Amino acid sequence: MTTAAVQPRSRYVDGAWHRLHPATPLLRGGIGLLAVLIYVGGNLRERIVGWVFHLPDVGGDPVDEIGRHNLVLPATLIVLGVLLLGIALFTISWRASEFKIDGDSVTVRYGVLLRRTRTAKLDRIQGVTIARPLLARFVGAARIELDVAGQNANVRLEYLSNVAAEDLRRDVLVLASGRRAAEAGVDPATAVLNDPGRPVIVVTPGRAIGSILLSETVVMLVVVAGVVIPVLTAIGAGPVAAVSFVPLVIGSVTVLARRVGRNLRYSVVSTPDGVRVASGIISTSTEAVPPGRVHALHIEQPLLWRPAGWWRVSVNRAGHAAGRRNAEAERSLAPVATTEEVLALLPLLVPDLADSRELLLAGLAGRGHDDDFTAAPRRARWLRPLAWRRTGFRLTAASILSRSGLLRRELVIVPDARMQSVSLRQGPFERLLRVATVQPHVVSGPVRTHLRLVDVDRAQQLFVELAATGVGARRVDVSHRWSDPGTRP
């Protein structure tokens, strides 16, 4: 029996336009404009005073010149007039910035001279992020971003009060989830907000700092400082080398500091509406990732992390494009997690793996034909002499698992329902060794979904099998309507 749709009880879900936080114009650009005006005024103040009051030559301090010529009252009125004009412009900008939520979408419009409107369809929302930059925290404001499937389709609401941002995120998740059945004694509209969730990953300060110290960036800096520069110094190029590596050091330290700031107080919490990710100390961010929005997962373990048993988990989601490696590391869903935390997190993102602990362990650290993984044939060792034993794949009832890597262990998981298409590729050397690469295509992101070194006969069979499986899985998938009892089997 299908229940009636439950609408969240909120002042925002009424189809009417609502205003953003009054400090929005100031936070979006007013502070930068004020800084520019102060800089320009400080460097040109003598010329400005002389031009405004028609003084012949202001050689001394402008304030002293204003007092000496009895211009204190006119100067005060001019300053007040500029302030009132700025306040009026900010007020007009604020009144022109509005948003509304109805049963199908979230719409925001802003701008005075150039009017802009952006709309996010609820069924296309991939996640909701609440960010609180340092200046916004001073006035109790937050920025909310709706991650929407599509190129540059994300919608930002800058800014809302902290309470309004939490309410809006709750409303969006309730509406996007479909119909929510009322539970005993619990208002379904407030379930997201009131449920504290179950902690899955909590990054301690020691782990956050340790993972940075054991990163490739730090290793590169140590090699440069301990090997490259001394060698160049020995051949007489020390000063030139030191100057040349200064930008590299500054850039690397900046990246490392940003990662430490993000990883401290980093946590992932399980809720009835997906996972909630919180991070940051000075500027904080809270992101909600609903079920059914993860298109692919990548779990990797650098060699230096292996003794500690740490892993990094990255995901592909519509609305999150691929970027540079540094950006990918900073946008990872779990920047550093233990093996047990990874085993607890993966079933939340891919429910098909809820009872597959041994399978996941074989994918993370196994090799050969562990737990029915189809390993690469022995003849493929010429293409990957060190990693061919770990290269393999496994098909489950609703997912594809692909493992690879020796020095850097990697496991890629693709839910069948998230596949967009599948391709079969075979290069000249692969043709000689009778192996091929099968690639399930998903939305772009940091995860590369390749099944490498597959026996050519099995690859052709797999190509046909995945094409049919993907169509069938998408037809019956209802994970994006995770709270709709009418869609549950």
Whether the upstream peptide bond of residue 159 has omega within 30° of 0, thus cis, is yes
Query: What is the tens place of the pLDDT at every residue in 431-480?
Result: 999 999 999 999 888 899 999 999 999 999 999 999 888 877 777 776 65
At a CB cut-off of 8 Å and minimum separation 6, what does 134 contact? 282, 283
Percent of the chain, pLDDT > 90? 23
Q: Are residues 333 and 407 in the same domain?
A: yes
Give the model's pLDDT for residue 352.
83
Q: Are residues 231 and 353 in the same domain?
A: no
Residue that wins the pLDDT comparison between 110 and 211? 211
Distance CA 259, CA 106 (A): 32
Would you say residue 374 lies in a domain? yes
Query: What is the tens place of the pLDDT at every residue in 10-39?
Result: 567 777 788 888 877 777 665 555 555 555
Would you say residue 326 lies in a domain? yes
Would you say residue 120 lies in a domain? no
Is residue 296 scored above 50 in pLDDT? yes
Distance CA 79, CA 352 (A): 66
Q: What is the DSSP string of 20-74?
A: --TTHHIIIIIHHHHHHHHHHHHHHHHHHHHHHHT-S---S-HHHHHHHTT-HHH
At a CB cut-off of 8 Å and minimum separation 6, what does 279 contact? 262, 263, 265, 266, 267, 285
* Segment (H or E) for 458: helix 456-476
Q: Are residues 363 and 438 in the same domain?
A: yes
- Mean pLDDT is lowest, of 218-222, 288-292, 318-322, 458-462, for 318-322
Residue that wins the pLDDT comparison between 328 and 131? 131
Distance CA 374, CA 366 (A): 12
For 405, how many CA atoms within 13 A lie in the half-sphere containing its CB?
19
Query: What is the tens place of the pLDDT at every residue in 259-294?
Result: 887 888 888 998 877 788 888 887 788 888 877 788
Q: Are residues 393 and 478 in the same domain?
A: yes
Q: Are residues 326 and 431 in the same domain?
A: yes
Would you say residue 62 lies in a domain? yes
Give the model's pLDDT for residue 57.
54
> In which domain, by residue range, is 387 found?
293-487
Distances (CA, A) of 94 to 66, 88, 107, 112, 114: 35, 10, 16, 9, 14
Is residue 129 scored above 90 in pLDDT? no
Q: Are residues 256 and 297 in the same domain?
A: no
User: pLDDT category, 68, cuts 50, 70, 90?
Assistant: low
Would you say residue 11 lies in a domain? no
Distances (CA, A) of 327 to 335, 426, 446, 473: 12, 31, 9, 32
Q: Are residues 401 and 458 in the same domain?
A: yes
Decide if 227 contacts 233 (C-beta within 8 A). Answer: no
- Please compute the mean of the pLDDT values over residues 322-349 and round it to a whole number: 74
Decide if 454 contacts 438 (C-beta within 8 A). Answer: yes
Give the model's pLDDT for residue 257.
81
Would you say residue 172 lies in a domain? no
- Among the candidates 78, 95, 112, a domain finishes at 95
Average pLDDT, the chain: 77
Number of domains, the chain? 3
Q: Which of 146, 142, 101 is nearest to 318 (CA)?
A: 146
- Residue 13 DSSP symbol: B
Q: Which of 387, 378, 320 is nearest to 154 (CA)?
A: 320
Terminal alpha carbon distance of the chain:
11
